[in-house]
Amino acid sequence: MPVTQNEKTITLKHEQSGSSVEIYFFGATVTSWIQGGKERMFLSSKSTLDASKPIRGGIPVVFPIFGPPPSSPPEYAALSQHGFARTQTWTLDKILMDREEGISVRLLAPPPPASFNHSYKLAYVITLAPHQLVTDLHLTNTSSSENFIFQALLHNYLAVPDANKLQITGLDKGVDYKDKVLGGKLCTWEGGVLTIEGETDRVYQKVPSQEIKVDDGAGSGFKVRFRGFEDCTIWNPQEKGKSMADMEDGGWDRYICIEPGFVREFKSLKPGEEFLGQQVITVL
């Protein structure tokens, strides 16, 4: 069966190519993507998969805030880092497609915590194709009278043989980025190739190309395309990863996060309005 599930996970298998993807209902977190016989997602061996903490690896879903909570409005200020979507238990809504071209499922987020009194519908469509993984976040403001503000981001951890050998391209010259390593300083990207030479935590804002390439320096890599999402965070903590309780030793050398999102400010949806944020990850 191409789509199978148990209490904790749902697995899509593309039988012709051997590709597969595993998704935890906890956080709707993709935890494994096997393509070309290789694991393409990094998942820390120290990650708790028992729903007590967000999963460290794969693709956690960041919503309705990115990063530490803002100072207001109060119901947003009370949230924890990256919001609650990554620690909610989602449910399978529908198998949308099950064909040779690909397999696609839709998961639905439960209602928000009681303290976050907003009405919306949040769905996540995961599509597995032979060389690609596509993840789409669909948000609808279901309130009939109030605007809904949010940030959202798909926090992929792409598995690479050595983060120090990566060449990251596609970031347009002249794009502004917030450098969190420099305390959130706003900088302008000079163009060219980004390499990981130490802790890197940058929020590139409004990236016109909407396509980032990662050359892994070993003959392979990834392309991450996005739509709806306009910003892209690039994160690798390097040695600072040692201070993360759920990060395996040296794990920071085995992944890169190229995170499409809408995070430079809050996006506002009018009553009834919809937002689609998509990432398409292709193995090169």
Ligand X SMILES: O=P(O)(O)OC[C@H]1O[C@H](O)[C@H](O)[C@@H](O)[C@@H]1O
Near ligand X by CB under 6 A: residue from 4, 45, 48, 81: 81
Cα-flanking dihedrals φ and ψ of residue 245, to 5°? Answer: -60, -30
Q: Tell me which DSSP letter residue 197 carries.
A: S
- Identify whether 259 is a catalytic site residue: yes
* Half-sphere exposure (Cβ direction) of 206: Cα atoms closer than 13 Å: 6
Nearer to ligand X by C-beta: 103 or 150?
A: 150
Near ligand X by CB under 6 A: residue from 8, 118, 180, 254: 180
Q: Tell me which DSSP letter residue 8 carries.
A: S
Catalytic: which of 22, 155, 211, 239?
A: 155
Nearer to ligand X by C-beta: 103 or 257?
A: 257
Note whether 128 and 10 are within 8 A (CB): no
Nearer to ligand X by C-beta: 201 or 216?
A: 201
**Does the annotation flag 56 for ligand binding?**
yes
- CA dihedral (187, 76, 107, 142) positive or negative: negative
Near ligand X by CB under 6 A: residue from 14, 82, 213, 267: 82
Token readout for 65 is: 């805030």
Residues 231-250, one symbol each (x = binds ligand X by CB under 6 A, - = not), give --x-x---------------
Largest pairwise CA distance in the chain: 53
Residue nearest ligand X, Cβ-based: 235
- Identify whether 155 is a catalytic site residue: yes
3-state SS class at 242? helix
Active site residues: 155, 259
Please give the annotated binding residues for substrate, written as ranges. 56, 81, 86
